[in-house]
């Protein structure tokens, strides 16, 4: 999406509630699928917002990638094996998460928990 279109969409959606990337859902999907690689970004704007979040089976450190994963109009998505999965919560459901949230502790815990038999 070009800058003018993004500006227009942002302006048209001013005041709407923010959709933020759902790190817990992403961690559950990654774990369930045994994914070693995953990316995240905003629908329609991946060139400017997307980046790797999992590489070689490990969370990518924040300083080694770029993601911007919150929007009032573009749906945050998880990409695994070429499949794009809507992956967000409304900010009112996760008041401590926003566009700068990156691999919060509760999501890391999901990734590292072992399955109990």
In the chain, what are the domain boundaries? 36-105
Alpha helices in 1-117 (DSSP H): 3-12, 23-33, 46-49, 105-112
Task: Return d(Cα 63, Cα 67) in angstroms, integer.
Answer: 10
The tokens of 38 are what? 């995953």
Q: What 8-state DSSP symbol labels residue 72?
A: S
| pLDDT at residue 8, rounded to an integer | 52
pLDDT of residue 115: 65
Of 45, 31, 33, which is closest to residue 3 (Cα–Cα)?
A: 45
This prediction has a pTM of 0.85
Rounded-to-integer distance, Cα 35 and Cα 38, Å: 7
Per-residue pLDDT tens for 58-94?
A: 999 999 999 999 999 999 999 999 999 999 999 999 9
End-to-end CA distance of the chain: 47
């Amino acid at each position: 999406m070009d800058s003018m279109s993004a500006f227009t969409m942002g302006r048209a959606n001013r005041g709407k509630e923010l959709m933020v990337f759902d790190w817990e859902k992403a961690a559950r999907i990654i774990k369930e699928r045994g994914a070693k690689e995953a990316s995240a970004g905003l629908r329609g704007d991946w060139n400017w917002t997307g980046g790797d979040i999992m590489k070689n089976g490990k969370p990518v450190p924040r300083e080694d990638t770029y993601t911007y994963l919150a929007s009032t109009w573009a749906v945050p998505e998880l990409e695994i094996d070429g499949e794009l999965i809507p992956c967000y919560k409304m900010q009112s459901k996760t008041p401590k998460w926003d566009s700068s949230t990156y691999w919060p502790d509760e999501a890391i815990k999901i990734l590292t928990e072992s399955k109990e038999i």
